[in-house]
């Protein structure tokens, strides 16, 4: 997966970007863990393995952080949608804006 940029003007776009980042960090964590396992199988020990373990831990933390942020963005989208969708006077007022129901 490649991420070159993201338009996070709309809340759903922010949530999708955060989901993508969580997936990327998850792939990084898996790759580091696989490499660490290969190095262990080849008899490598000590500082290089400790370094790879530390890198893996940070990638797992980043994955968790991005996933949590994506869940918060999703909750935000749901709240906006519930609010805008439940108030007849708001119908059509957010077209093309931050709380556009079509973008949620």
Give burial (CB, 10 Å; 0-12/13-18/19+) of 101: middle
Cα separation of 56 and 77, whole Å?
31
**What pLDDT, in 10s, does the model give residues 85-104?**
777 777 667 777 767 766 66
**What pLDDT, in 10s, does the model give residues 38-68?**
999 999 999 999 999 999 999 999 999 999 9
Share of the chain above pLDDT 90, in %: 53
Structure confidence at residue 52 (pLDDT)? 97
The model's pTM is 0.76
* Structural domain boundaries in the chain: 16-85
DSSP code at position 90: G
Structure confidence at residue 61 (pLDDT)? 97
């Amino acid at each position: 997966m490649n991420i070159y940029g993201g338009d996070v003007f709309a809340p759903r776009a922010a949530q999708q970007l955060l989901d993508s980042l969580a997936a990327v960090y998850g792939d990084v964590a898996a790759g580091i863990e696989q490499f660490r396992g290969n190095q262990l199988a080849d008899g490598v020990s000590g500082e290089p393995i400790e370094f790879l373990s530390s890198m893996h831990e940070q990638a797992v933390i980043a994955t968790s952080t991005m996933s949590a942020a994506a869940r918060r963005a999703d909750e935000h989208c749901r709240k906006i949608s519930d609010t805008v969708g439940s108030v007849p006077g708001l119908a059509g007022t957010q077209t093309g804006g931050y709380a556009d129901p079509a973008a949620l």
